[in-house]
Amino acid sequence: MKLSKIKELLNAEVLWGKEYLDIEVFNACGADLMSDILADNKANAILLTGLTHRHIIQTTVMSEFAAIVFVRGKIPSKDVIELAKEQKVPLLKTDFPLFESCGILYEAGLGHSQDNKKVLDAASGRESETPQVMRLTYDILGNDFNSAGKAAEQAKRVLKQIGIDSSIIRKVSIAAYEAEMNIVIHAYKGQLIFSITPKYIELTAKDEGPGIPDIEKAMEEGYSTAPDRIRELGFGAGMGLPNMKKFSDVFEIDSVVGKGTEVRMVIYL
């Protein structure tokens, strides 16, 4: 079914993406819970939801939904629409409630056959049970203490929204905060990347910086190369890497002197 037909059936308004109305859609997911959206594994599907915050765009992109239809007349803010434009996610709005919207599309034939999904999976080389992955990526600037910790804080909010257990959120948050602070203190710039799956959360911190000459030494509690000006701010106590390892089920670190460092952490759900 073309997106233009879905627009017609739901008497929907295009908020952005009229040029994408010819795309083919084979299924749909209707949900107002981030955890339900993340768990959905339909291919070439649209998302029907009343959620309008920025994270819905990120979730849509990572879960590879073809478009979003906001139900109950909901309209996202301008910054959310701008983010959708950047990610090329078509946005529509219908006044129908979620239940009725799903019913209209199902009655019209959307999602009746599983053959389309099997064909798409075979063509892409994926198994139909491949778990969905949600990725959150944050750019970190070295020496930017005004923004330090914001990436970990934002990711923590997302984890709460999708229903991750509080004990897991605590472990991820601590590991992420330590990783973010390490980039701010020691590197020129870097990224904090969260890959969230139904079975585990993988956290990758990679930076461009001086690198670590002696990783074994750097892993010792209390060892730090942070200058005095950083210590005066209350940072650089030499517990960053040890804490990252302590709160991870899998911990890997690789560093090249003069280039940078990459740390990979996995926390099982």
| CA nearest to 247, candidates 205, 182, 203 | 203
158 contacts 195 by C-beta, under 8 angstroms: no
CATH topology of domain 134-268: Heat Shock Protein 90 (3.30.565)
pTM above 0.75, yes or no: no
Contact 72, 99 (CB under 8 A): no
Within 114-269, residue ranges assigned H as helices are 115-124, 150-161, 166-186, 215-218, 228-231, 240-246
- pLDDT, one tens digit per residue, over 78-104 is 999 999 999 899 999 999 999 999 999
| Long-range contact set of residues 40-43: C-beta below 8 Å, sequence gap at least 24 | 40/132, 41/128, 41/129, 41/130, 41/131, 41/132, 42/111, 42/117, 43/116, 43/117, 43/120, 43/121
Residue 34, CA atoms < 13 Å, CB-side half-sphere: 21
One pLDDT digit (tens) per residue for the chain, 269 residues: 999 999 999 999 999 999 999 999 999 999 887 657 766 767 789 999 999 988 788 778 767 799 999 999 999 999 999 999 998 999 999 999 999 999 999 889 998 654 444 434 443 444 434 446 888 999 999 999 888 888 888 898 889 888 899 899 989 988 998 899 899 999 999 999 999 998 999 999 999 999 999 999 999 988 988 888 777 666 777 888 999 999 999 999 999 999 999 999 999 99
Q: Is the Cα dihedral 242, 244, 249, 250 positive or negative? A: negative
For residues 15 and 71, the answer to whether their CB atoms sit within 8 Å is no
Written as one string, the DSSP assignment of 166-180 is: HHHHHHHHHHHHHHH
Task: Specify whether domain 3-124 bears CATH 2.60.120.10.
Answer: no
How far is residue 184's CA from residue 207's CA, in Å, rounded to a whole number? Answer: 10
Provide CB contacts within 8 A for 32, sequence distance 6+: 49, 50, 51, 98
Please state the domain extents for the chain: 3-124, 134-268
Task: Give Cα separations from 54 to 34, 136, 238 (angstroms).
Answer: 12, 12, 35
Q: What is the C-alpha to C-alpha distance for residues 127 and 120, in angstroms, rounded to an integer?
A: 10
In sequence order, what E strands does 189-228 have? 189-196, 200-208
Contact at 8 Å (CB) between 209 and 260? yes
